[in-house]
């Protein structure tokens, strides 16, 4: 299945699982959908689906989990953009959630998306798979993951690699692991997926920084490029234990060619 087809599948499923705007409180449900759609590249949920497929599962096995991962990502963007954090007025070319709906509603829309992610996992997956996925996702999102990374980020913590690891790579790692978990993969395969996810997560963040930060010095840019290339090679190297992992390799190349 092409990336475009997967994205469409994910978008349809996200729309089905988000509360309708016709339900009360409408402004909350509007704010949630406003931030989820049209969205970005949907790279994290695509990784969930492709990791599942690579471990012998079907899209259907991991679609709920893919949505949960994207909702966690979206909640983190809304909260990161807030005036007391990065104070970003724009996100993906339109006003950020708090600019459009006010600060209080933006905070609450984020809270609701985070809550909904866990609801979807508990509601949709077989219990043993659900608790494992919830554990992975809550660890990636928590104080030793995304929230912890954001705290270090706003505190102007110097070690950028640690911030990237916590804010970005942890969720990529969880995405790949959860895909494997949804396919009922062995511990060995889950571990291999974790490595793949963490490495492309780090490469993704470096690529993102290279695109965003025009002010990056030439020597900084060339060392970032070298580093990103190493992460991509490591990510691909870890895929050797899988019989057919070309789609995951393609995602790695895609990330490095953004």
What are the residues binding a copy of itself (CB under 8 A)?
19, 23-25, 27-29, 32, 79, 82, 84-85, 102-105, 107-108, 110-112, 114-116, 118-119, 121-123, 125, 127-128, 130-132, 134-135, 138-139, 141-144, 147-148, 150-152, 154-155, 157
CB of 182 to a copy of itself, least distance (A): 14
Which H or E element spans position 59?
A: helix 59-81
CB of 107 to a copy of itself, least distance (A): 6
Cβ neighbors of 240 (< 8 A, separation 6 or more) are none
Tell me the C-alpha distance between 42 and 44, whole Å.
6
Asked whether the beta carbons of 61 and 67 are under 8 A apart, the reply is no
- CA-nearest of 115, 124, 201, 112 to 164 is 201
* For a copy of itself, the closer CB: 118 or 231: 118
CB of 116 to a copy of itself, least distance (A): 6
CB of 230 to a copy of itself, least distance (A): 26
* For a copy of itself, the closer CB: 90 or 157: 157
CB of 96 to a copy of itself, least distance (A): 14
Asked whether the beta carbons of 153 and 112 are under 8 A apart, the reply is no
* For a copy of itself, the closer CB: 109 or 180: 109
CB of 152 to a copy of itself, least distance (A): 5
Cβ neighbors of 5 (< 8 A, separation 6 or more) are none
Tell me the C-alpha distance between 256 and 145, whole Å.
23
* For a copy of itself, the closer CB: 89 or 220: 89
- Where does 73-205 show beta strands of DSSP type E? 90-91, 94-95
* For a copy of itself, the closer CB: 3 or 152: 152
Tell me the C-alpha distance between 69 and 64, whole Å.
9
* For a copy of itself, the closer CB: 3 or 122: 122
The structure tokens listed for 112 are 């609701």
Tell me the C-alpha distance between 18 and 7, whole Å.
16
């Amino acid at each position: 299945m092409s990336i475009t087809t997967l994205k469409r599948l994910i978008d349809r499923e996200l729309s089905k699982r988000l509360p309708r705007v016709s339900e009360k409180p409408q402004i909350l449900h509007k704010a949630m959908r406003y931030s989820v759609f049209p969205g970005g590249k949907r790279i994290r949920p695509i990784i969930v689906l492709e990791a599942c497929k690579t471990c012998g599962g079907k899209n259907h096995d991991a679609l709920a989990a893919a949505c949960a991962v994207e909702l966690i990502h979206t909640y983190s963007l809304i909260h990161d953009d807030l005036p007391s954090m990065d104070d970003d007025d724009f996100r993906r070319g339109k006003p950020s959630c708090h600019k459009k709906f006010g600060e209080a509603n933006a905070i609450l829309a984020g809270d609701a998306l985070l809550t909904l992610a866990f609801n979807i996992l508990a509601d949709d997956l077989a219990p043993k798979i659900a608790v494992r996925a919830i554990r992975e996702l809550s660890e990636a999102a928590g104080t030793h993951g995304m929230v912890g990374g954001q705290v270090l980020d706003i505190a102007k913590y110097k070690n950028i690699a640690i911030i990237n690891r916590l804010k970005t790579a942890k969720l990529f790692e969880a995405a790949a692991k959860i895909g494997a978990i949804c396919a009922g993969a062995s511990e060995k395969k889950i571990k291999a997926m974790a490595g793949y996810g963490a490495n492309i997560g780090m490469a993704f963040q470096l690529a993102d920084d290279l695109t965003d930060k025009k002010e990056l010095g030439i020597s900084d840019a060339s060392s970032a490029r070298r580093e990103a290339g190493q992460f991509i090679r490591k990510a691909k190297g870890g895929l050797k234990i899988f019989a057919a992992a070309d789609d995951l390799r393609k995602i790695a190349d895609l990330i490095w060619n953004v």
